[in-house]
Structure 1
């Protein structure tokens, strides 16, 4: 009977240890970008449901997958949200989500992003065009707007997607993924 009791105690201890989340998990999950419940780098365009809530709008030339526009945005209860576009890669994984908001929601959205993600850089308030960037555990976020624009955009990039598809980091040794070496134009014969 003692062996059964000891085995049960060991089993319960083992289950409790595996069921308890590690101390760092809540912080990591809080820093995981999953806008509108779609985790970047994991969510699939083909699994979006129900079909009346989205429309395929073409192919993402740079990523190789579908481009999808979400409809009925009022269900997300985000003030000022006017448009959501998903770009999937050739493996059907969401690599970019762009959310367009009315300008009146800028301060509220920026504050929420500041509270949740690590800020990487921001332009000064008096700049002609506004830009801010944050880091997430599974990607990065960008906020873009013009000083007098009526809307602003928040772009959620899956980890590594921006670097893979767009090499505009300013380093001389990187070339854009879509760039191909072009032959020098030859002058027409006289």
Structure 2
């Protein structure tokens, strides 16, 4: 009986350890896990401001206030796009350019690097894979800021399908909803 209990305990602990390792590269910026966190959690008007709709995702767009509480040096803006099921589909973080090397190192350490352009390119781009989505970083060579976008699985394809079928045009989408991939074509990031 004792031997069976030991074996079951060992199997259970092994399963927990395996699960912990497999979720070690889940993207959960600002504590909001992509594709799982409910956006209703962002309803406090003292900490968040509804910034409109994300028609491509089917839900609200929320700007997070009081960024100092996240202890992310250089963070100047955080936007969350919610899907029709009220879960986090995209988190866009804007940083001062001075934090570029530190943020890039942290992303390299946590996620599998998929693609990077030359950092001296007119518009530099990097992409990492997360277990529950993907992470992109975009910046202009002479820009004062850079953007990191955390996409939930399937959200990026949904955005481009929406944009590609005439569902959205630049005049119909507020600036807060425009994912950073569109900003890659611009020489300078949009002003805050």
- C-alpha distance 49-11 of structure 1, shift in aligned 2 (>3 A): farther
- Residue 158 (1) aligns with residue 152 (2): yes
User: CA separation in 2, counterparts of 1:51 and 1:14?
Assistant: 48
Is contact 2:126–2:136 with CA below 8 Å preserved after alignment? yes
Query: What's the offset of the Cα at 1:158?
Result: 0.2
Secondary structure at 1:36's aligned position in 2? helix
Please say if 1:176 is aligned against 2:127: no
Question: Any gaps of 5 or more consecutive residues in structure 1?
Answer: 1-5, 169-174, 181-190
CA RMSD, aligned part only? 2.2
Please give the alpha-carbon distance, in whole angstroms, between the structure 1 residues aligned to 2:73 and 2:132: 25
SS in 1 for 2:23: helix
Q: How does 1:81-96 map to 2 (within 5 A)?
A: 81-96=75-90
TM-score by length of 1: 0.80
TM-score (normalizing by structure 2): 0.79
Q: Which has the higher contact order (CA 8 A, sep 6+)?
A: 2
**Paired position in structure 1 for 2:133:** 139
Distance 1:23-1:53 versus aligned 2 partners, 3 A rule: same
CA contact (8 A) 1:43 1:93 kept: yes
Number of positions where the alignment pairs a residue of Structure 1 with one of Structure 2: 168
